[in-house]
Amino acid sequence: MAVTEEALLARIARGDLVEGPEYATQPYIDALKRTLIVSADTELISAPSYLRAARDAPSINSYISATGIIQDELGHAHIAYRMLRDLGVDTDALVYERDPKDFKHPYAFDVPLDSWTELVVANAFYDRAGFLLLGDIFRHTTYGPWKRALAKVDREENFHLGHGEKWMRTLSQDPKGKTDLQHAVDWMFLLTIEWFGLPDALKRHKEQIGYGLKGYTNDQLRQQWMSTAVPLCQEVGLTVPARHDAEHNEWVITCPFPARFDERQKSPGMTCWCDGSSAGPRTASLSARSSAGTRNWGDTSMRELDAGVVRAALYEILDPEYPVSIVDLGLIRGVEVKGSTVRVRMTYTSMGCPCTEMIQDDIRERLRALPGVGRVEIEVVWEPWTREHISAEGLKQLRGVGVV
Amino acid sequence: MQGEEIYEVFAARAEGAEPVKNVGAVRARSSREAAIFAHKLYDEWRWKEMFVVPRRALIHVIRPA
């Protein structure tokens, strides 16, 4: 029996995942395929791009690190293509027979990376964008198979951006290295800003609203990216055209943008959003990169770090067994913020809880994604847990799934 | 491609007491090839155990509502 749009939206509203095309409507599947193709193509195209620059690696060890990253990227592409194959897409035709102009990836990958410096900035910038975009899908998507598969991607992209950060800190110690970094950052910063796609106000694929394929909008993710990328650049003494506007609590770009990019000179100039009509066929992908869910997860990204922000983020973490937030379940017993260190005191429903490690991994991942968080400490206090600790909202949700 | 089929990949992490779970799938021409692909591709954790199972061998008994 065909799934109706109403039944699909009710499933999503209940928090039940869509486990395959048989549980979705055609518009949902079309929106999902579009998002998957952008993800798959971006991961795939990053491999040759990174390999080109890896040849400039300063040592055999660093070359091996880079090829490890490249192998990861191919693995990530494989995940998204395999999702597409399971949706009935001919992925061989997609990979081997498609016109290269039809590949859907950010414009940034149309610009060759020429040096080790550009490669490590790509790790720190592009992989940070990938980490945020896919991390958002990993945490929020309503499509079950993708959500599960992204555990690998989320973990590895975090390593890639850490690799970039480490190398940027190392290279910035030396005056020549710092100059080269500044040149790379000068063109790569704006191209990564553009990576997140059209501003929310200009997005065209409105049909994805309501499907919750992802949780944050393009503009929210762009803000999240700037909230860690800009401080990194400032820390190593690099200048980037962005600053934090304390009054409006948002990151603002301080140069003409959107801008047309001179590929040969690798320098941004003036003009418009690459929306597919003005900047060549490859950037048509940016319009396909749209999509915003309607779930209100509360954008905690731009607020100053405090216990309230941490709690709001913890609220997004669901117990692996029941679709209830760990906060509503009464597992969180205290939150402290000291500088960039966040300390969470928590308990479990029983000593034999099989999900302890998974929940702690989720907490670390979510909190580390918050701006300003350096270290996450989790103390398991093994305080008694009873039904009385479940919030009214939690009880309501558990009743909804027939647990209490 | 000719003669290929899908194999589901199941694995359990080396650390902790997590049970075997489905971690992904690979496409291969033989079970041996599937094992190699799975071992290379799903390397995000250290595993204590890993299986590949032809998807055609899985029989769906209960489906989600």
User: Chain B partners of A79 at a C-beta cutoff of 8 Å?
Assistant: 24
- Domain locations in chain A as residue ranges: 5-238, 307-400
Q: How far apart are CA A141 and CA A161, in angstroms?
A: 22
Distance CA(A364)–CA(A61), nearest Å, equals 29
Those residues of chain B whose CB sits closer than 8 Å to some CB in chain A are 1, 15-18, 22-25, 27, 41-44, 64
Distance from CA of A356 to the nearest CA of B (A): 10
Please say whether the structural domain A307-400 has been given the CATH code 3.30.300.130.
Answer: yes
Angle between helices A116-140 and A26-54 in degrees, nearest 10: 160
Structure tokens at A337: 């913020």
Whole-number Å distance between alpha carbons of A21 and A27: 11
* Tens digit of pLDDT at every position of chain A (404 positions): 578 999 999 999 998 999 999 999 999 999 999 999 999 999 999 999 999 999 999 999 999 999 999 999 999 999 999 999 999 999 999 999 998 888 998 888 888 899 999 999 999 999 999 999 999 999 999 999 999 889 888 888 888 999 999 999 999 999 999 999 999 999 999 999 988 887 887 766 665 557 888 888 888 999 999 999 999 999 999 999 999 999 999 999 988 776 666 666 676 543 334 433 333 333 333 223 222 222 222 333 334 678 888 888 888 888 877 778 888 888 999 898 888 889 999 988 877 776 778 888 889 888 988 888 888 999 888 888 888 888 887 887 777 767 66
Nearest to A213 by CA among A18, A79, A14: A18
Residues of A with CB under 8 A from a CB of B: 16, 19, 23, 75, 78-79, 82, 85, 92, 148-149, 151-152, 155-156, 354, 357-358
**Which of the residues B13, B43, B50 would you substitute to probe the A interface, choosing the one with the greatest number of A C-beta atoms within 10 Å?**
B43
Number of CB atoms found within 10 A of residue A63's CB: 15
Do residue B41 and residue A75 have CB atoms under 8 angstroms apart?
yes
Convert the pLDDT of each residue in A346-360 to its tens digit: 988 877 776 778 888
Per-residue pLDDT tens over the stretch A239-256:
999 999 999 999 999 887
> What is the pTM assigned to this prediction?
0.67
Q: State the pLDDT at residue A273.
A: 40
Report the pLDDT value the prediction gives residue A261, as an integer from 0 to 100: 67
Query: Which one, of A348, A277, A349, A345, lies nearest residue A311 by Cα?
Result: A345
Per-residue pLDDT at A205: 62
Strand partners, B27: B6
The CATH label, of 1.20.1260.10, 2.30.250.10, 3.40.50.1100, 3.40.630.10, for the domain at A5-238 is: 1.20.1260.10
The mean predicted confidence, pLDDT, of chain A is 83
DSSP string for residues in A245-276: ETTTTEEEE-S--S--EETTTTEE-S-----S
Q: B60 to chain A nearest CA, in Å?
A: 13
Whether the Cβ atoms of residue A177 and residue A185 lie closer than 8 Å to each other:
no
Residue A272 confidence (pLDDT): 35
Mind listing the pLDDT tens digit for each residue in B3-55? 899 999 999 999 988 899 999 999 999 999 999 999 988 988 899 999 999 99
Distance separating alpha carbons of residues A258 and B18, to the nearest angstrom: 48
For A278-290, how does the pLDDT look when each residue is reduced to its tens digit (9 = 90+)? 333 333 332 232 2
Rounded to 10 degrees, what is the CA torsion of A112, A117, A119, A122? -90
- Which residue type does A353 have? C
Determine which helix (DSSP H) or strand (DSSP E) holds A228, and give its type and residue range: helix A218-235
Residues of B in contact with A16 (CB under 8 A): 64
